[in-house]
Amino acid sequence: MELRIAVLGVGLMGADHVERITRRISGARVSVVNDYVAEKAEAVAATVPGARVVGDPLDAIAADDVDAVVLATPGPTHEKQLLACLEYGKPVLCEKPLTTDVSTALEVVKREAELGRRLIQVGFMRRFDQEYEALKALIDSGELGRPLLVHCAHRNPAVHSHFDSAMIVKDSLVHEVDVARFLLAEEIVAITVHRPATTSYAPAGLQDPQFALLETASGRLVDAEVFVTTGIAYEVRTEVVAERGSAMIGLGVGLVRKSAPGIWGGQVTPDFRARFGQAYDTEIQRWVDAVQAGTNVDGPDAWDGYAAAAVCAAGVVSLESGQRVEVEMVTRESAGL
């Protein structure tokens, strides 16, 4: 039987998931659509045969024709909606952040642990990208020896006008935080966020770019440049430097051109959907398959969402102080895991 999914929040990301589930994912269909803008929900539901609109997100979660939930609502609503998914026993794929602060993220982790089964997957889609999967496999093979350093670059052409300096940490740098934890398989224990010269193209008051230095539990270092108003295109690169070599992804060398006067280069993807479209497809398909199989999670879970929130919270403090800040996290055991 097809998995019946409620998609909560049908802005850019949620509407993209509705289209993805309807057109490219097998074993599932969108049965319910919800958004705080009723007209938007109606317009999106009209594109899906058999889908209906439910005005209250909690009613959508509880609906009898909903087996699982995709949560693409604004971050401040996540805690209440995730707890409702746990209450009704509905598997949920939650776009980041898990919640908007560390204490509520930990509460969600603990409440799920009390159930004795995992229901929450967090949408860190880079783990499903073919290049990141290949880099992870290379690291785990041991061919390059022990990884020592990771260099990251995360560049956006532009961001919404409401973006502030802290959001660069919580909404953009958070991906590099999860990538570092994924590739190195250990926690981040400290972070320092530096404030380099700000681009003249950034809106007033926005500290852009930012440069973060992450320290792992075993002493490895990860540096990350985050630059969200380049005005050029969407670019994400990751390089791992190990004892017996190095490897880099995100070069975008599918098309390389040479032209006068001495120009060499290729094309950079225009936005995150073009760069990570395959990753989103794989992420949703594997999640659907996991729910159908009864395991519910095949990827980053609530603990990963909590860990990312803890690192980013320390990052915001470091951004404001300019100082190294240690990450405050409980142990998995004290969270009931």
For residue 124, give both structure tokens.
């860190």
Confidence band for 197, pLDDT divided at 50, 70 and 90: very high
pLDDT tens readout for residues 274-305? 778 889 999 999 999 999 999 999 999 999 99
Domains in the chain: ranges and CATH: 3-126+277-300 (3.40.50.720), 127-271+309-326 (3.30.360.10)
Contact (CB, 8 A) for 169 and 210: yes
Which amino acid is residue 163, in one-letter code?
A: F
pLDDT tens readout for residues 136-146? 999 999 988 99
pLDDT over 60 (residue 189): yes
Which amino acid is residue 251, in one-letter code?
A: L
- Against a cut of 0.85, is the pTM above it? yes
Confidence band for 261, pLDDT divided at 50, 70 and 90: low
pLDDT of residue 250: 85
pLDDT of residue 259: 38
pLDDT over 80 (residue 256): no
Confidence band for 78, pLDDT divided at 50, 70 and 90: very high
pLDDT of residue 1: 85
Cα separation, 55 vs 255, in Å, equals 46
- Over residues 55-64, the mean pLDDT reads 97
pLDDT tens readout for residues 90-102? 999 999 999 999 9
Confidence band for 271, pLDDT divided at 50, 70 and 90: low
pLDDT tens readout for residues 235-245? 899 999 999 88
pLDDT of residue 160: 86
pLDDT of residue 257: 35
Cα 54 to the center of its chain, rounded Å: 26
For residue 103, give both structure tokens.
């204490």
pLDDT over 70 (residue 266): no
From residue 168, alpha-carbon distances to 158, 262, 318 in Å are 12, 35, 13
pLDDT of residue 245: 85
For residue 187, give both structure tokens.
């926690």
3-state helix/strand/coil string of 230-288: CCCCCEEEEEEEECCEEEEECCCCCCEEEECCCEEEECCCCCHHHHHHHHHHHHHHHHH
Q: How does the average pLDDT of the chain come out, rounded?
A: 92
Residues 6 or more apart whose CB falls under 8 angstroms from that of 184 comprise 139, 147, 150, 216, 220, 222
pLDDT over 70 (residue 254): no
Percent share of the chain, pLDDT over 90: 81
pLDDT tens readout for residues 19-42? 999 999 999 999 999 999 999 999
pLDDT of residue 287: 95
Confidence band for 273, pLDDT divided at 50, 70 and 90: low
